[in-house]
Chains A and B, each alone.
Chain A
Amino acid sequence: MQNWNSMPDHDFRQFMADFIAQNLPVELRGKPYRLGWEKSKPWFQTLSKAGLIAPAWPVEYGGMGLAAAKHIIYLEEMDRAGCPWMNEQGTMNVGPALIIHGTEEQRAKYLPRILSGEDVWCQGFSEPNAGSDLASVRTEARVEGDELVINGQKIWTSGAHDANMMFALVRTDKQVKKQAGISFVLMDRLQPGITIRPIRMIDGSSHFNQTFFDDARAKLSDVVGGLNNGWKVANSLLGSERLWAGSPRHAYKYLAILEKVARLAGRASDPSYIERKTQLTLDADDLASTYRRTVSTISTGRGYGFEASLLKIWQTELSQRIMELALEISSDAGGLSGDVSLDGETINLLYPYIESRPPTIFGGTVQIHRNILAKNVLKLPS
């Protein structure tokens, strides 16, 4: 079995670049928006067959077991080549949850099916009245024999239309403090008790859904981490979601868009533009320094700490400022929708501008994260 971590960084980078160049179909490259499962599935399976689909999972569970520095290289090369976003719920969320909190039976049953792409997962966390205040989930699960019977409603279920499986936070005890009565449960997404309704977003996509549970069923043996222990399981995932949101690669992606806009709009050598772009570049570079410092402390065996909140705040707000400047300098074209032709080249301005907005909202708004930092790290009174 390949020991990736013993490979010199440079060789690993070259390996990833070569693999992507040889295997990623041209028509999947550099798409500014998410591709559905149908379109991205062949690329998923290519990575899967080569053992490259789960960079962060331990080797014993079929992952690459990459150390932090190697994992960064993996992501950088994926971005550089314009690899498409794929449904990451299985590899990024359910898999790690099972690896940390699951039983041997759960791991044996689900992990291989995540790696092969046989199961596609969606996340049922948020509810209409449990957004940033996630612990307020009300979707109720009552124990009946060896099953849970589930009723209620979820929202922002991304990719539910592509998924055959769902993991969800459900209320299994209403008598205790709200965090103490939640369970993390896996279930069949395609059962008759679950219906989904797509939500049309302001970017024109319908990636998110409402999900309705009407006596839906899950096996008690598919509760992860034990009954009423779901808050802990969910929190162990939110750290990685925040860290993902705090990666400088998002900001660099938007900086590349900004530079292209500046060139096409004839502003690239305008001193006032250069001054503002330089500030944004420095903000991204200094974020990258902080990201590397954070990742290196995590790889030395500590869990995700407050640093993930910090990175998320800085990164998501920076990406927004970059796209704000891009829109500002793009003149009339900034008011157009879809692919816009400028100087014989094509650029889509509206999509990335809108796309840069929700990261300050999902996974806890940046305001909630400031509350968390104020209370837990700065120890300010409440």
Chain B
Amino acid sequence: MNANQQEAGTADEVRLLRDSAADFVKRSTNHQRTRALRETLPGHDADVLRSLTELGWPAILVPESHGGMGLGLTSMAAVLRELGRGLLGEPVVANWVLPVRALEFGDNDDLKAKLLPQMAEGKVTAALAFQERNGDFGSNVTRTTAVTSKTAVLLSGTKRFVAGCSGADGFLVTANADAGTGLYWIRREAPGLTLAHEWHADGTASGILSLSGAPAEAVAATPATCAAGLARALDEGAVMVCAELLGILSETLDRTLDYLRTRVQFDKPIGSFQALQHKTVDLFILQEICQSVLEQSVRVMDESATTSAERGRMASRCKARLSDAGLRVTREAIQLHGAIAMTDDCDIGLYFKRAITLSAWLGNAEYHRRRFASLQPPGN
């Protein structure tokens, strides 16, 4: 098989996945359910989760050698874009992207062999707990400690902003030992582990994980691989959030266009008014810009030759753009709909709040612009 055939093969796979995701979203979108699940635990519908699992999507990124599909981020992005349209994306990035990648980029092959096949089948759900204070990213801000006792490694500290926490069977937790910061796998039922929640803007749960001498089950990444692996997982995760955001803003734009074509005031469809047309065209342009930067980002992330600095710049470019655009499109959609969109009965508000949630997660636009500026290649 030559490179072109391989690429065509991949394109076909991506198309199939996208079509099946679009079909799933068409059948399963139900915003009465979306409303009912807000600020509840676990916060997702068991039937929807079962269907997603049956479609094999927890396995998309898991390597074939560990029982997964071994597909790239291009495939995952295609699924997430569609799921975003139906507000069905939770908890894909949190449970099926971040922990899978963080584990894979670590150096515990036995743990990979044990956990990844179960994660691929949806039998074990993991979440990544790396953040402690507001606005802290990366591994150099960890205060949680890992102390080796006679029988186990005991973790102590508090993790905040843990997404995908409510259905998690265990957590990948960053913690400092004498040798440096590592990534530890700890079970939900471990003694000394408690989980509390605060609510995201969209009513999904954001976990607060308290650890007081809680025994870890294994080291997922030693200090030798932890920082680089985590950075890569977070960059990839940020781009995957962008895929979901693109689905959200595209759906919001489509619904807004429908409204502009049908809502009549002054005896005309309001979409005939130039002021509204121009505002909407600007949102459409933004959508196209977003699609371009997302497609390029996913491609760059999937290329094996990409350096960590390039990955960081690309991820920050992408998340800066999509975080901004997600917020802008959804709030302008409210303006273009008028007062009806401020009511809880109107679906636009659901998209608006999901966009707020995802825009802030894994670094908002302001954070990523600053990071992009700090990662400029030498000479610029």
For B257, list chain A residues within 8 Å (CB): 378-380
Contact A282/B320 with A290-B288, A290-B292, A293-B292 known, Cβ cut-off 8 Å: yes
CB distance from B127 to the nearest CB of A (A): 30
Compute the total of residue contacts between A and B using a CB distance below 8 Å. Answer: 82
Q: Residue B302 at the A interface, CB < 8 A?
A: no
CB atoms of A378 and B284 under 8 A apart:
yes
A22 to B100, CA, bound (A): 54
Q: Residue A382 at the B interface, CB < 8 A?
A: yes
Which of A62-70, A71-79, A215-223, A366-374 lies at the interface?
A366-374
Interface residues of A in 325-382 (CB under 8 A from B): 367, 370-371, 373-374, 377-382
Q: Quick one: closest A residue to B285, CB to CB?
A: A310
CB atoms of A381 and B269 under 8 A apart:
yes
A28 to B284, CA, bound (A): 41
CB atoms of A377 and B272 under 8 A apart:
no
CB atoms of B372 and A380 under 8 A apart:
no
Q: Residue B293 at the A interface, CB < 8 A?
A: yes
Q: Quick one: closest B residue to A291, CB to CB?
A: B292
A290 to B291, CA, bound (A): 8
Which of A307, A373, A379 is within 8 Å of B261, CB to CB?
A379
CB distance from A374 to the nearest CB of B (A): 4
Q: Residue A175 at the B interface, CB < 8 A?
A: no
A274 to B277, CA, bound (A): 33
A310 to B372, CA, bound (A): 25
Q: Residue A324 at the B interface, CB < 8 A?
A: no
For B271, list chain A residues within 8 Å (CB): 380-381
CB atoms of A371 and B274 under 8 A apart:
yes
Contact A293/B295 with A374-B281, A377-B284 known, Cβ cut-off 8 Å: yes
Q: Residue A287 at the B interface, CB < 8 A?
A: yes
**Binary per-residue interface labels of chain B (163-179) against chain A in the complex, 1 for a CB within 8 Å, 0 otherwise:** 00000000000000000
Q: Residue B112 at the A interface, CB < 8 A?
A: no
CB distance from B13 to the nearest CB of A (A): 20
CB atoms of B292 and A380 under 8 A apart:
no
CB atoms of A278 and B260 under 8 A apart:
no
Q: Residue B31 at the A interface, CB < 8 A?
A: no
Q: Residue B113 at the A interface, CB < 8 A?
A: no
Q: Residue B268 at the A interface, CB < 8 A?
A: yes
Q: Residue B337 at the A interface, CB < 8 A?
A: no
For B288, list chain A residues within 8 Å (CB): 290, 307, 310
Q: Quick one: closest B residue to A380, CB to CB?
A: B271
Contact A275/B369 with A286-B321, A380-B257, A380-B277 known, Cβ cut-off 8 Å: yes
For B284, list chain A residues within 8 Å (CB): 310, 373, 377-378
A352 to B296, CA, bound (A): 31
Most central of A279, A282, A292, A373 by chain B CB within 10 Å: A282
Q: Quick one: closest A residue to B297, CB to CB?
A: A289
Most central of A286, A290, A367 by chain B CB within 10 Å: A286
**Interface range for B:** 20 to 34
For B55, list chain A residues within 8 Å (CB): none
For B282, list chain A residues within 8 Å (CB): 370
A281 to B375, CA, bound (A): 13
CB atoms of B280 and A374 under 8 A apart:
yes
Which of B269, B285, B291, B317 is within 8 Å of A285, CB to CB?
B317
A275 to B278, CA, bound (A): 28
Contact A373/B281 with A379-B261, A381-B271 known, Cβ cut-off 8 Å: yes
Q: Quick one: closest B residue to A310, CB to CB?
A: B285
CB atoms of A314 and B289 under 8 A apart:
yes
CB atoms of B269 and A370 under 8 A apart:
no
A377 to B281, CA, bound (A): 9
CB atoms of B268 and A314 under 8 A apart:
no
Contact A381/B292 with A367-B278, A373-B281 known, Cβ cut-off 8 Å: no
A310 to B281, CA, bound (A): 9
Q: Residue A251 at the B interface, CB < 8 A?
A: no
Q: Residue A313 at the B interface, CB < 8 A?
A: yes
A310 to B268, CA, bound (A): 27
A379 to B291, CA, bound (A): 20
CB atoms of A374 and B289 under 8 A apart:
no
A219 to B164, CA, bound (A): 74
CB atoms of A380 and B272 under 8 A apart:
yes
CB atoms of B289 and A380 under 8 A apart:
no
A289 to B373, CA, bound (A): 18
CB distance from A23 to the nearest CB of B (A): 26
**Binary per-residue interface labels of chain B (262-281) against chain A in the complex, 1 for a CB within 8 Å, 0 otherwise:** 00000011011010011011
A378 to B372, CA, bound (A): 33
For A380, list chain B residues within 8 Å (CB): 257, 260-261, 271-272, 277, 280
Interface residues of A in 241-298 (CB under 8 A from B): 274-275, 278-279, 281-282, 285-287, 289-290, 292-293
CB atoms of A286 and B289 under 8 A apart:
yes
Most central of B268, B277, B280, B281 by chain A CB within 10 Å: B281
CB distance from B240 to the nearest CB of A (A): 18
A371 to B261, CA, bound (A): 15
Q: Quick one: closest B residue to A367, CB to CB?
A: B278
Which of A282, A289, A313 is within 8 Å of B372, CB to CB?
A282
For A367, list chain B residues within 8 Å (CB): 278
A279 to B373, CA, bound (A): 9
A297 to B27, CA, bound (A): 32
Q: Quick one: closest B residue to A285, CB to CB?
A: B317
**Binary per-residue interface labels of chain B (197-219) against chain A in the complex, 1 for a CB within 8 Å, 0 otherwise:** 00000000000000000000000
A285 to B375, CA, bound (A): 14
CB atoms of A314 and B285 under 8 A apart:
yes
**Binary per-residue interface labels of chain B (361-375) against chain A in the complex, 1 for a CB within 8 Å, 0 otherwise:** 000000001101100
CB atoms of A370 and B277 under 8 A apart:
yes
Q: Quick one: closest B residue to A373, CB to CB?
A: B281
CB distance from A126 to the nearest CB of B (A): 23
CB atoms of B296 and A289 under 8 A apart:
yes
CB atoms of A282 and B295 under 8 A apart:
no
For A281, list chain B residues within 8 Å (CB): 372
A287 to B268, CA, bound (A): 35
A377 to B280, CA, bound (A): 11
A219 to B272, CA, bound (A): 44
For B260, list chain A residues within 8 Å (CB): 380
A314 to B288, CA, bound (A): 11
CB atoms of B285 and A381 under 8 A apart:
no
CB atoms of B281 and A381 under 8 A apart:
no
CB atoms of A374 and B369 under 8 A apart:
no
A281 to B313, CA, bound (A): 12
CB distance from B324 to the nearest CB of A (A): 9
Of the A-B pairs whose beta carbons lie under 8 Å apart in the complex, a sample of 17, sorted by A's number, is A278-B369, A278-B372, A286-B317, A286-B321, A289-B289, A289-B292, A292-B292, A307-B288, A314-B289, A373-B285, A374-B274, A374-B277, A374-B281, A378-B280, A378-B281, A380-B257, A381-B261
Interface pairs A-B: 10 shortest CB-CB: A374-B277, A290-B292, A289-B292, A380-B271, A278-B373, A370-B281, A381-B272, A370-B278, A381-B269, A289-B296
